[in-house]
């Protein structure tokens, strides 16, 4: 069961919920009901002992707890920003995940030399391939394999050299991308996704 970090997006007041749920997508939806501010999953830890992990995180961030002063029932809500919990996700290694952007490789612009700039893996920080997999968001990272001359993720088992074919139009690109997604859904990925959905 994942221990999750859900952010209540508000420019003036950062609030993050640290909790656990068997269905992360459903939990976010339940929390969104009745909340006018958008909620977004920031990341999660696939913990062996989720109750202990959640307790440890609550204790670590106790000074940032929203309910500590007024005796509120918001004991799982904290004044935290995504950067504050990045270390926790990173320390969890292969068990730590960020909620990655839909297409981390989407070109969002070009620098002054014409080099493409990509959307990136995570909204709140620039993460390198060596630390975080752009395909599943796992903090095991992508590891270069000399034998295959490709990068490999231990969590989702993605093996890639990051090349992609040239496309004449967006329709061909979308068809290729959909086909690639179908190929990626192996037994381990399906099991992991079913826990989150």
Mean pLDDT of the chain: 83
**Alpha-carbon distance 85 to 80, whole Å?**
8
| 53 found inside a domain | yes
| 117 found inside a domain | no
Residues 7 and 49 in one domain: yes
* 135-194 pLDDT tens trace: 899 999 899 999 989 999 999 998 888 776 677 777 877 787 787 777 665 544 444 544
**pLDDT score at 190:** 45
| 176 found inside a domain | yes
Tally of domains in the chain = 2
Q: 1-38 burial by CB neighbour count: b if 16+ within 10 A, else e?
A: bbbbbbbbeeeeebbbbbbbbeebeebbeeeeeeeeee
| Distances in whole angstroms, Cα of residue 18 to Cα of each of 7, 28, 41, 60 | 9, 12, 10, 11
Are residues 20 and 1 in contact, defined by beta-carbon separation less than 8 angstroms?
yes
Residues 85 and 42 in one domain: yes
Decide if pLDDT at 107 tops 60.
yes
Domain that holds residue 74: 2-98
| 113 found inside a domain | no
* 75-96 pLDDT tens trace: 889 999 999 999 999 999 999 9
Compute the C-alpha angle 94/100/103, nearest 5°.
Answer: 130
Task: Walk across the sheet containing 15-20 and list its strands.
Answer: 77-78, 15-20, 2-8, 39-46, 96-98
Residues 72 and 136 in one domain: no
Q: 3-state DSSP call for residue 108?
A: strand
* 23-73 pLDDT tens trace: 888 888 888 888 888 899 999 999 889 999 999 999 999 999 987 655 556
| 16 found inside a domain | yes
**Alpha-carbon distance 36 to 38, whole Å?**
7
**Alpha-carbon distance 78 to 104, whole Å?**
28
Are residues 94 and 132 in contact, defined by beta-carbon separation less than 8 angstroms?
no
**pLDDT score at 100:** 86
| 108 found inside a domain | no
Residues 87 and 129 in one domain: no
The two tokens of residue 52 are 């202990």
Residues 134 and 184 in one domain: yes
Compute the C-alpha angle 105/111/114, nearest 5°.
Answer: 90
| 119 found inside a domain | no
| 52 found inside a domain | yes
């Amino acid at each position: 069961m994942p221990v999750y970090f859900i952010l209540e997006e508000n420019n003036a007041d950062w609030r993050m919920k640290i909790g656990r749920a068997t269905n992360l997508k459903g939990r976010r939806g339940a929390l969104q009901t009745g909340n006018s501010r958008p909620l977004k999953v920031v990341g999660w830890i696939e913990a062996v002992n989720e109750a202990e992990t959640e307790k440890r995180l609550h204790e670590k961030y106790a000074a940032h707890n929203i309910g500590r002063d007024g005796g509120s029932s918001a004991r799982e809500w904290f004044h935290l920003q995504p950067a504050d919990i990045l270390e926790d996700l990173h320390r969890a290694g292969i068990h730590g995940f960020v909620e990655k952007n839909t297409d981390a490789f989407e070109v969002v612009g070009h620098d002054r030399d014409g080099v493409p700039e990509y959307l990136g893996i995570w909204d709140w920080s620039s993460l390198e391939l060596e630390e975080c997999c752009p395909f599943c968001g796992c903090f095991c990272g992508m590891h270069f394999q000399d034998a295959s001359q490709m990068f490999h993720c231990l969590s989702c088992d993605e093996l890639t050299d990051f090349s992609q074919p040239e496309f004449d139009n967006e329709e061909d690109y979308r068809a290729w991308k959909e086909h690639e997604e179908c190929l990626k859904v192996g037994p381990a990925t399906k099991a992991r996704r079913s826990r989150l959905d």
